[in-house]
Amino acid sequence: MSDCLFCRIAKKEIPDKVVFDDAKMLAFEDIRPQAPVHVLIIPKAHFASLNEAPEGAETLLGEMLFRAREIARERGIGASGYRVVLNTARDSGQEVLHIHFHLLGGRRMTWPPG
């Protein structure tokens, strides 16, 4: 998927503010932050969305979720609260077709989401 934006970010072909990096996943600052903390967490393997997540990806997705929790702790918003968002397909507003969790926090969120 050489034309996928987030694959290119994962391969460091595009410079980004990296928050966490290991063999399986990358976390980096969102380019248009919607909250004081807005970090994206992606797997290095490409799949477009939760709908396309392959058999066996359960552990990876769980590790990404726990990474979001760890980053929230590091940013000092673990106790005050944060939101993890996984937009999936058209009605969610998903724009980048490489699965990613949004970690958002540092301000009071509203519900329901827009």
Which residue of 16, 52, 63, 70 would you call a contact of ligand 5GP, by CB under 6 A? 16
Q: Choose the catalytic residue: 38, 98, 100, 102.
A: 100
Place of tokens 């958002």: 104
Measured distance CA(107)–CA(50) in Å, rounded: 27
Q: Which residue from 7, 57, 84, 86 is in contact with Zn ion, where contact means CB under 5 A? A: 7
CB 19 within 8 A of CB 29: yes
Under the binding rule (CB under 5 A), the answer on residue 4 touching Zn ion is: yes
- Interface map 48-87 toward ligand 5GP (x if CB under 6 A): ---------------------------------------x
DSSP string for residues in 8-35: HHHTTSS---EEEE-SSEEEEE-SS-SS
DSSP annotation of 54 reads P
Q: Would you tell me which residues interact with ligand 5GP (CB under 6 A)?
A: 5, 16, 28-32, 40, 87, 93-96
